Structure 1
Amino acid sequence: MTISDRVLIAGAGPVGLVAAANLVRHGVPVTVLEGGPDLSTESRASTFHPPTLDMLADLGVVEPLIAQGLIAPKFQYRNRRDGLIAQFDFGAIADETRHPFRLQCEQSKLTRIIHDRLRADPNFEIAFSSPVRAVTQDRDSVTVTVERDGSSETQRYRWLIGADGARSDVRRSLGIEFDGFTWPDRYLVVSTPFDFYSAIPNLDPVSYLADPVRWHFLLQIPKLWRVMFRIAAEESDELALSPEFAQTLMAQVVPGIDSYEIAHTTLYRVHQRVAGAFRRGRAFLIGDAAHVNNPLGGMGMNGGIHDAINLTARLIEVWRGTRPETELDRFDLQRRLVTKEHVERQSIQNKRNLEAADNEFRDLLRRTAADPALTHDYLLKVSMIGSLRRAEQLG
């Protein structure tokens, strides 16, 4: 069986297509195999952090994404007793990034922008309804089993990038553990066109409300607000998904308003897991195939895009023969450790902060917001610039 020189990418989500875009931009041919019949229309992740926008600008796709999204230069924290606790402006790190703001835009917009940009390039090809189900490899190649039209076929490639999600068949076939845990509570996202600016003074597009029993946060995307609530372990899925329960939760957001137009609700379990390795031989894991975390702070998709850029920058040089294959070990070293040190740790802390019963978190936020140096350091951390710098330090 002939070995293809094209890099194979399993999965056409935002992470897989960013990897494809960076490879193609540097003349490396790519084949993307997507299990679904088309690009996903699910909203899912919708926050793009400043350094991620810088990366997307280098790929030439950030301007159309910004045109379809909503710029969020500020975010804030509140609680029920004190109201507004602290507000943070990404303008404080304008010296660190070309995009000192978060962009609120559904990930499905990015995948279509990239696909439309690449589709006519001879170095890019994509096949839908073609999931990668199994992987074997030897010293020179990776052999994948692809399910297509009810049957299986095998193909050989020099390199494989697994971007096929949290239930990754690539990861399973490679025998890589997905260590971590699942939170006992779940998250309910309620989407509504209600204008919260008219009801909550001094509101920002991203607003977290801390509460030890029922925290929530408001996230504005084009045409809708997403409101996320914690659902306790003892509250059943059936209860959580009932229209009456959603209205009861929403009634806690703005006193005096107890009836909302609800566009849709989504209930999901929340995991904190990191793969035991991000590289095994000629195969790699990026995005949700490599790590999953709770969505507070918007670090999941962004971390996956950072994986994609880190890996492909090295793979380009190896594919060209200008760097040895050992260069690829740095991807696993940097991205896996940074995921454990920063992304997992910070997302867990974000959840615990919102659930804190004492005033320690409130007072810390106030001190941070009042001190320009502390604000600068804090924004480097929550924007993920800090984690990228840490990766560079790892060699």
Structure 2
Amino acid sequence: MTNDILVVGAGPVGLTTALVLAQAGHAVTVLEAGESLSAESRASTYHPPTLEMLADLGVLDALREHGIVSQAFQYRDRQDGPVAELDLGILADDTPYPFRVQCEQSKLTPILLERLRRHDGCTVEFGEPATSVTQADDRVTVTSASGRSWTANWVVGADGASSVVRKSTGAEFEGITYPERFLVVSTTEDLAAVLPGIADVNYVFDPTEWLVLLRTPEHWRILFPTDPDSPADAEVADARVQERLRGVADLGRPWELLHSSLYLVHQRVAERFRTGRVVLVGDAAHVNNPLGGMGMNSGIHDAVLTARALVALLAGEADLDALDVVLAGRRDVALSYVRTVTHDNWKQLREQDPSARAAHHAELRALAADPVAARAYLRRTSMIDSLRPLEPAGDAL
């Protein structure tokens, strides 16, 4: 079977890539390992520049129907309570969407899929995990576990951190794995009632057990670090999970749970994002810890910018060097922006030194009280600065 472009992976990044290409008139086939779209909650925060891109694709209104608009987030101390609240409304001159949307990625992917299927020549093949990718004579062939093969002019690998597409190129996936595993617990309890005054998104400092509290339309999610030496089964056991939750708030009864999962967290970036006619986007190209909500967002940015560059190349409006400039820029963002911000978030949440912790809290309070500094900081944490330069507006933390 011959196609203009093959996209491997039908997550939010792969489907966004495919939709950009389809809207430009290209026939696209998406290969997905799963038998259907993933129903996992996973990423749930959409930053302002991502909302701009989704609006350009015509899918933002549908996403907002399912999501929660959140204009502020909080930094809190586990013992002392609120430290600072940052209002994204201060970005009104920087973006038409000065807020976050909280909505699980599993609600975005069906929207993207439905829009993709409106385009002639565009299909999604479920239950077709890629097993090999080969290149010859300016064509790329992908073979799946079923034995079927597809040949295309270009292949976009959006098949996650264990990407078969990336491995086929021989590109090293350089970086680190954190000593802590992260435990994510989803609950139907109303944390706003249990912890009055919290925001929809909360980063909670503590030298022993930092937390992230996130509201989604249907539940709250709590992110905990875990002891790297503790057996995985012990960490997800109901009694242990309930013990951790009682540390957040003692309800006098067991918490109502939807699910809990434990996972390793990595900071890794592929040594190159293009090999011949194969390009990498999203987690196939780079992974980071989730503190700051930059993983899915940076992946969607990869998808849109890379797909636009491919459209220009295929239309004869740009050459291969122009595509490489875009990919080099995305790799630089992953290395010097996303990795730095998310790793700094991790270090600050778990800071052990009391004086350093107090100094950082004081900086955050001063930041929240200074509109110029707050704007600069929010441009960085909302990922606006990863896509366009910052006008002079004071120094961020």
| Displacement of 1:231 | 0.4
Residue 284 of structure 2 aligns with an amino acid whose one-letter code is A
2:265 equivalent among 267, 270, 288: 270
State the distance in 1 between where 2:121 and 2:382 align: 33
Query: Which stretches in structure 2 are left out of the alignment for 5+ residues?
Result: 391-397
1:225 equivalent among 214, 220, 224: 220
Query: Which stretches in structure 1 are left out of the alignment for 5+ residues?
Result: none
Could you tell me which residue of structure 1 aligns to residue 173 of structure 2? 178
| Displacement of 1:141 | 1.6
State the distance in 2 between where 1:42 and 1:195 align: 20
| Displacement of 1:137 | 1.5
Question: Residue 302 in 1 paired to residue 302 in 2?
Answer: no
| Displacement of 1:244 | 1.1
1:83 equivalent among 75, 81, 96: 81
Local SS of the residue matching 1:123: coil
State the distance in 2 between where 1:48 and 1:28 align: 27
CA separation of 1:199/1:274 partners in 2, compared to 1, >3 Å: closer, same or farther? same
2:208 equivalent among 213, 219, 233: 213
Q: For the Cα contact (< 8 Å) 1:338–1:390, is it kept in 2?
A: no
Could you tell me which residue of structure 2 aligns to residue 333 of structure 1? 328
Q: For the Cα contact (< 8 Å) 1:248–1:258, is it kept in 2?
A: no
Which segments of structure 1 move beyond 6 Å, counting only runs of 4 or more?
A: none
1:109-161 deviations in Å (ceiling 9; x for gaps): 1110011122132031111111222122135221222232xxx2333211110
| Displacement of 1:360 | 2.4
Q: For the Cα contact (< 8 Å) 2:3–2:150, is it kept in 1?
A: no
Q: How does 1:107-146 map to 2 (within 5 A)?
A: 107-146=105-144
1:71 equivalent among 69, 73, 88: 69
State the distance in 2 between where 1:159 and 1:241 align: 42
Q: How does 1:358-373 map to 2 (within 5 A)?
A: 358=354, 359-373=358-372
Could you tell me which residue of structure 1 aligns to residue 198 of structure 2? 203
Local SS of the residue matching 2:75: strand
Could you tell me which residue of structure 2 aligns to residue 14 of structure 1? 12
| Displacement of 1:262 | 1.3
State the distance in 1 between where 2:386 and 2:136 align: 34
| Displacement of 1:84 | 0.5
1:152-187 deviations in Å (ceiling 9; x for gaps): 233321111000111000011110100111111111
Could you tell me which residue of structure 2 aligns to residue 260 of structure 1? 255
Could you tell me which residue of structure 2 aligns to residue 315 of structure 1? 310
Residue 18 of structure 1 aligns with an amino acid whose one-letter code is T
| Displacement of 1:390 | 5.6
State the distance in 2 between where 1:92 and 1:255 align: 36
Residue 216 of structure 1 aligns with an amino acid whose one-letter code is L
CA separation of 1:97/1:199 partners in 2, compared to 1, >3 Å: closer, same or farther? same
Residue 31 of structure 1 aligns with an amino acid whose one-letter code is T
Question: Residue 168 in 1 paired to residue 158 in 2?
Answer: no
Q: For the Cα contact (< 8 Å) 1:27–1:123, is it kept in 2?
A: no
Q: For the Cα contact (< 8 Å) 1:69–1:103, is it kept in 2?
A: yes
| Displacement of 1:257 | 4.8
Question: Residue 194 in 1 paired to residue 189 in 2?
Answer: yes
Could you tell me which residue of structure 2 aligns to residue 54 of structure 1? 52
Q: For the Cα contact (< 8 Å) 1:286–1:304, is it kept in 2?
A: yes
Could you tell me which residue of structure 2 aligns to residue 37 of structure 1? 35
Normalised by the length of structure 2, the TM-score is 0.94
Residue 298 of structure 2 aligns with an amino acid whose one-letter code is G
Q: For the Cα contact (< 8 Å) 1:28–1:319, is it kept in 2?
A: no
State the distance in 1 between where 2:278 and 2:263 align: 29
Q: For the Cα contact (< 8 Å) 1:250–1:258, is it kept in 2?
A: no
Q: How does 1:232-251 map to 2 (within 5 A)?
A: 232-251=227-246
| Displacement of 1:223 | 2.0
State the distance in 1 between where 2:132 and 2:250 align: 53
1:282-308 deviations in Å (ceiling 9; x for gaps): 110001100111111011010100000
| Displacement of 1:201 | 2.4
Could you tell me which residue of structure 1 aligns to residue 378 of structure 2? 379
Local SS of the residue matching 1:263: strand
Local SS of the residue matching 2:96: coil
Residue 71 of structure 2 aligns with an amino acid whose one-letter code is P
CA separation of 1:98/1:123 partners in 2, compared to 1, >3 Å: closer, same or farther? farther
Superposed CA RMSD in Å reads 1.5
